[in-house]
Structure 1
Amino acid sequence: MKKPVLLGTVSLTLALLAGSALAGPTCTRESRDKWIPEADMKQKIAEMGYRDIRTFKTTSGNCYEIYGYDKDGRKAEVYFDPVDARIVKAEVDD
């Protein structure tokens, strides 16, 4: 009887870890009144060279996240800190 409980606990732990990995990074804990407004952030992102932004959203980790293309035309998924516009995580296709 103890093995099924142990396996169930391991499975639950792995599922929770996988779910948190899919959720993306946490970018800030600052309140939204300190965030860069979306329109201004979109402008900053364009100035960084990102273009053809297909998606711009706010994540559960308090990030601005985009799906688009970088200055070299590569597909990019990028998470930005909404307070200072720094890149927290970027995944770029080669």
Structure 2
Amino acid sequence: MRVLFFTTLTLLSTAVFAGPQCTDIDKSKWLDQAKFQEDLKAKGYEIKVFKVTDGNCYEIYGWDKDKKKVEIYFDPVTGKTVKEEIEE
């Protein structure tokens, strides 16, 4: 019973923390990371953390132009938002 509990807990925690899957396209076709960040800053974003996720997304933690805290996943090929969380 105890093993079942920990197995279930592990599976649930993995699902909770897993981000979206953005692309399976080769990284050579991705938008340049530095240019992409500069474009976001030009749109009013303040980036605290920028990273590439296990799901092949560009992810930022920071603030939008309205100074609301955001966590956003972007498709690194198109630059489109895949998932967005905004703190109200």
Q: TM-score range by the shorter chain?
A: 0.7 to 0.9
Q: How many pairs were matched up?
A: 88
Correspondence for 1:28: 23
Q: Which amino acid letter does the alignment assign opposite residue 59 of structure 1? A: T
Q: C-alpha distance in 1, partners of 2:5/2:80?
A: 36
Who wins on radius of gyration, i.e. which is larger? 1
Correspondence for 1:73: 67
Q: C-alpha distance in 1, partners of 2:59/2:71?
A: 7
Q: Is the 8 A contact 1:44 1:85 kept in 2?
A: no
Q: How does 1:43-62 map to 2 (within 5 A)?
A: 43-51=38-46, 53-62=47-56
Task: Mark the runs of 5 or more structure 2 residues left unpaired by the alignment.
Answer: none
State, as a whole percentage, how many aligned pairs show the same letter. Answer: 44
Scaled by the length of structure 1, the TM-score of the pair is 0.81
- Deviation for aligned residue 1:43: 1.8
Hey, which bits of structure 1, 4+ residues long, moved more than 4 A? none
RMSD, aligned CA: 1.6
Q: C-alpha distance in 2, partners of 1:38/1:24?
A: 19
DSSP 3-state at the match of 1:44: helix
